[in-house]
Amino acid sequence: IDNTDITVDELMEHIPGPDFPTAAIINGKAGIIEAYRTGRGRIVIWAKAFVETNEKTGRETIIITELPYQLNKARLIERIAELVKEKKVEGISELRDESDKDGLRVVIEVKRGEVGEVVLNNLYAQTQLQNGFSFNVVALVDGQPQTLNLKEMIHHFVRHRREVVTRRTVYLLRKARDRVHILEGLAVAIANIDEIIELIKSSSTAAIAKDRLIATGWDASVSSDLMEKAGAASRPEDLDPSCGIKQGKYYLSPSQAKAILELKLHRLTGMEHDKLLSEYREKLDEIIKYLEILDNSKVLMQLIKEELQIVSDEFGDDRRTVITESQHDLTVEDLISEEDRVVTISHSGYAKTQPLSDYQSQHRGGTGKSATAVKDDDFVEHLLIASTHSTILCFTNLGKVYWLKVYQIPVAGRNSKGRPMINLLPLDENERINSILTVSEYDENKYIIMATANGTVKKTSLDQYSRPRSVGLRAVDLVEGDYLVGSAITDGNSDVMLFSSEGKAVRFSESDVRSVGRVSKGVRGMRLPAEHKVLSMIIPADNGYALTVSASGYGKRTNLTEFPTKGRGGKGMIAMQASKRNGSLVGVVQLFDRDEIMLISDQGTMVRTRCDEISVLGRNTQGVRVIRLRDQEIMVGLARVEEQDYVDDFEFKD
């Protein structure tokens, strides 16, 4: 109204988007902008829901308080129940409707150990908790259907209001003129009341009296000033020209004569006469106002504005529907608050997370508490601290990589062993996770380097893994009998060390390995005799030791600085003497002060020992006994117990 040149974008500053009576959340402005600019578009509406945690039981509950527009609550509850029954949505133990006069409230109880945000995300994906709403703004314009943008829609609405207000004003003007005309006649009659009464009394019928009233010229001197003020503007448009003041006399119209004959006697009092004249003046003012509205478009538009403001004041309320700034597909991250979690995966393949806030800082050297409960024949093999929004890349012995979000691993107490990885990832029967890497951003300047048992190394840019697949992807091509032994994220300038079962090691610069695509093959990292394999890959770190253990249970720690950097592809230098006493190497891990290791034999014997209890010796030595084996028993592997370095610095809060 005030700015006819306003643009659609400027209008959206005042009309940001639809406001639905059921509130909920509009996902992004892109669909609204398209609809307002073109008349066609689609928006996505989310139900408003949140997850509560019972502090006593630790169980989570999903609370739904707002639904998308036109979504039937009863049908939604039925749909959720169907999904649970068909096992398309898991983790729900109870579903109930707690809605009352205070508002909508649907409660979904989550099973113990399940992640409420993940369950909620599945419900968004498989029900109308996330619903589309389409725009198709078609209106009849001059009898023809047209698709209108926001400005055109408002323009035609204002035009319609102009037409409505104009028609209403014309109608009110006609009614006011008719009333003024009647009031004029009554004023004349009261001014000539004696003559009027005499005329009526002397008439034999009402029709004759009416005709005589019309035919007689009456004195109008009492009301002449008001009649002159009213002028022609107050005369009804269809009034006979013979009516009104003619040659100093007032001639009544048929409608005036009829009103006089119907006049009640009490209207003849002086007070009623004054009321009649007062109403006459009011009607004249109304006529002037109506004429101004019809003659002046600015006055007409101002009236439209005032009436719209009245509607706004009477019916306007606070906005209910929230509009998010940018549109994006719903992900679990949208539903989960970001926090740090302690992630543990045991040697037997059980995984769980615990909030970092469950641990309190402790002075170095403290005893700490176990971060997880494991079986006697199990131990924590992988431990890391990561955000709930971070991704864990899980590399398996078969050369595949799987993506697992931290929030997908269930939260469990320290007395729980967690959930089997086979329930979290589609692992094959003989597939085992042998390394995990945490990723927050897929930086193109970072790399993943991998090594296989046959001595192949492969280096790929980290951003090659930025598109997760639910079934995993092949990270490296393996020939029959080969398998992945390790992986690591590097900056492109690190050293890489490979250790073989022959007791040899190679150390070379990562720059010797060219970065290739994810589907490409690797290059030779170490030359091996036919009967030997690469056991381990290490990215040397400051203050690190290589712990080497042989099949006969002998081992040692060697400072990594004793291994000089040479080119890749060689047979390697001695890392531990593979003598008759020692036998072949069975495992190598990088250790630091205060670490612990787990030693494993072919008969299931597991021994846990501290790193500092194992001697530090040079490369070309046999080592010392680290585990006493029975006859016919041999060592088959070892692993660093990741838990120890963490719980020494933090204590679990009871």
Q: Domain residues for 98? A: 8-144
Per-residue pLDDT, 361: 45
pLDDT of residue 654: 46
90: β partners = none
* CATH number for position 491: 2.120.10.90
Residue ranges of the chain whose pLDDT lies below 50: 361-371, 644-654
Closest CA to 115 of 329, 355, 328, 345: 355
Strands (E), 79-180: 92-97, 106-110, 130-136, 138-141, 144-147
- On whether residue 301 sits in a domain, the answer given is no
Torsion of Cα atoms, 307 then 313 then 314 then 319, to 10° = 120
Nearest 5°: the CA angle 139, 141, 142 is 150
- The domain that contains 60 carries what CATH number? 3.30.1360.40
Task: Specify if 290 maps to a domain.
Answer: yes
Pairing mode, if any, of strands 495-500 and 554-559? unpaired
**Is there a contact between 558 and 614 (Cβ–Cβ < 8 Å)?**
no
Statement to judge: residues 138 and 161 lie in one domain: no
Co-location of 476 and 574 in the same domain: yes
What is the structure's pLDDT at 605?
Answer: 79
Residue 300 domain-assigned?
no
User: Is the separation of the CB atoms in 406 and 388 below 8 Å?
Assistant: yes
* Cα atoms found within 13 Å of the Cα of residue 447, Cβ hemisphere only: 21
Q: End of a domain among 144, 164, 182?
A: 144
Residues 648 and 578 in one domain: yes
The count of other CB atoms within 10 Å of the CB of residue 269 is 11
* 353 and 632 Cβ atoms separated by less than 8 Å: no
> Does residue 102 sit in the same domain as residue 250?
no
Tokens of 93: 């133990």
Specify whether 162 is located in the same domain as 214: yes
| 98: number of Cβ within 10 Å | 11
Residues 354, 479 share a domain: yes
**468-522 tens-digit pLDDT:** 888 899 999 888 889 999 999 999 999 999 999 999 999 999 999 999 988 788 9
Tell me the pTM.
Answer: 0.55
In a domain, 223, yes or no: yes
Query: Packing angle between helix 116-126 and helix 73-85, nearest 10 degrees?
Result: 110
What are the φ and ψ backbone dihedral angles of 4, each rounded to 5 degrees?
-75, -15
The string of DSSP letters for 385-429 reads EEETT-EEEEEETTSEEEEEEGGGSPB--TT---EEGGGTS---T
Contacts of 547 (CB under 8 A, 6+ apart): 555, 556, 557, 588, 589, 590, 591, 597, 611, 614, 638
Retrieve residue 171's tokens.
Answer: 């109608």
* Statement to judge: residues 402 and 341 lie in one domain: yes
Q: What is the CA radius of gyration of the chain?
A: 45
Between strands 249-251 and 322-323, the pairing is unpaired
Answer yes or no: do 226 and 253 share one domain. yes
Note whether residue 490 is domain-resident: yes
Is residue 644 one of the residues assigned to a domain? yes
Q: Residue 637: is it exposed, middle or buried by C-beta count within 10 angstroms (0-12/13-18/19+)?
A: middle
What is the CB-side half-sphere exposure of residue 360 using CA atoms within 13 A?
2
Per DSSP, 376 falls in state T
432 and 529: one domain?
yes
Under 8 Å between Cβ of 623 and 582: yes
Interatomic CA distance for residues 347 and 327, integer angstroms: 42
CATH code, domain carrying 267:
1.10.268.10
Residue 208's H or E segment, with its range, is: helix 206-215
Name every residue whose Cβ is closer than 8 Å to that of residue 361 and which is 6 or more positions away in sequence.
649, 650, 651
What is the number of other CB atoms lying within 10 angstroms of the CB of residue 21? 9
Rounded Cα–Cα distance for residues 48 and 54 (Å) = 20
Of 83, 118, 144, the residue at which a domain comes to its end is 144
Task: State the Cα–Cα distance between residues 186 and 199, nearest whole angstrom.
Answer: 15
136 plus 158 within the same structural domain: no
Do residues 451 and 588 make contact, with C-beta atoms less than 8 angstroms apart?
no
Kindly state the helix (H) or strand (E) to which residue 635 belongs, with its residue range.
Answer: strand 635-641
Q: What is the mean pLDDT of the chain?
A: 87
Residue 557 resides in a domain: yes
Residues 546 and 461 reside in one and the same domain: yes
Hey, what are 315's tokens?
A: 């019916």
Q: Which of 144, 178, 195 represents a domain boundary (last residue)? A: 144
Provide the pLDDT for residue 378: 73
- Convert the pLDDT of each residue in 30-68 to its tens digit: 899 999 999 999 999 999 999 998 877 778 999 999 999
State the total domains in the chain: 3
* Euclidean distance between CA atoms 416 and 645, whole angstroms: 20
What own/partner pairs with CB < 8 Å and gap ≥ 24 does 264-273 have? 267/186, 267/190, 268/190, 268/193, 273/187, 273/190
Same domain, 111 and 168: no
Q: Is residue 317 part of a domain?
A: no
Amino acid at 447: Y
